[in-house]
């Protein structure tokens, strides 16, 4: 099974800061990685697919990147409405989610 | 406009079979590249993928639960189903269904239902 190690588990940042969340895959998954945002009490929302492609309607301050088997989600200028939990999901083989990163605003 | 909505029993007893229905609109499961997946989330915990079904009736299951899961669809009525046999308290969770969309760049769950809470308790 492919494992995703997501970090950090939680973070607190101020508005306008740059925030980076990473997922390390246990083996090569190519570009088969997605990022989701889940706000409290809501369903997850797609942010990024194919590791780097911004989903429709997602603000351009969100971006995804890949370096080998490490994947990153970057929020370039954090906004208050970005609070929530972020998950990566690999769809290369027998889907697995990362453990989540809870983002809070200072 | 794509919408999905899950429905289930709410509460059931250990060893019973959990039957979930996803009723959707705005797309068809007979369209090339479309699919529906099921994902669950225990309260306060992370997401766990359960199963996918595709337009051509291909089915994929989480290996750790495969023996207990059955996914199916009713294309005519725009519904997808998931059955989980022999439930126990560890199956207590919110269950989501989500549309799978595919393009030349990849596939993804793009639209999700609001979720249905299922409690397994004696």
Q: Are B62 and B48 in contact (CB under 8 A)?
A: yes
Per residue in A64-92, pLDDT (tens digit) is 999 999 999 999 999 999 999 999 999 99
Q: Are A12 and A106 in contact (CB under 8 A)?
A: yes
CB pairs under 8 A between A and B: 55
Chain A residue with the nearest C-alpha to that of B115: A43
Per residue in A19-62, pLDDT (tens digit) is 999 999 999 999 999 999 999 999 999 999 999 999 999 999 99
B56 touches chain A (CB under 8 A): no
Please judge whether A97 and B47 are an interchain contact, meaning their C-beta atoms are less than 8 angstroms apart: yes
Q: Are B36 and B98 in contact (CB under 8 A)?
A: yes
How far apart (Å, rounded) are the C-alpha atoms in residues A63 and B37? 25
């Amino acid at each position: 099974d492919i494992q995703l190690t997501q970090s950090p588990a939680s973070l607190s940042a101020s508005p306008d800061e740059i925030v980076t969340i990473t997922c390390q895959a246990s083996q090569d998954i190519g570009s088969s990685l997605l990022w989701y945002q889940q706000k409290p009490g809501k369903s997850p929302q797609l942010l990024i697919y194919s590791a780097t492609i911004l989903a429709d309607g997602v603000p351009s301050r969100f971006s995804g990147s890949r370096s080998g088997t490490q994947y990153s989600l970057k929020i370039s200028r954090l906004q208050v409405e970005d609070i929530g939990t972020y998950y990566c999901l690999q769809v290369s083989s027998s889907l697995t989610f990362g453990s989540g990163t809870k983002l809070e605003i200072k | 406009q794509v919408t999905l909505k899950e429905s289930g029993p709410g509460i059931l007893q250990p060893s019973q079979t959990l039957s979930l229905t996803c009723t959707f609109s705005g797309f068809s499961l007979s369209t090339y590249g479309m699919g529906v997946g099921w994902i669950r989330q225990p309260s306060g915990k992370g997401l766990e993928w359960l199963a996918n079904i595709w337009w051509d009736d291909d089915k994929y299951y989480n290996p750790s639960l495969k023996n207990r899961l059955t996914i199916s669809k009713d294309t005519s009525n725009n519904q997808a189903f998931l059955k989980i046999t022999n439930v126990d308290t560890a199956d207590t969770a919110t269950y989501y269904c989500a549309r799978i969309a595919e393009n030349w760049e990849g596939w993804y769950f793009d639209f999700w239902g609001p979720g249905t809470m299922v409690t397994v308790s004696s």
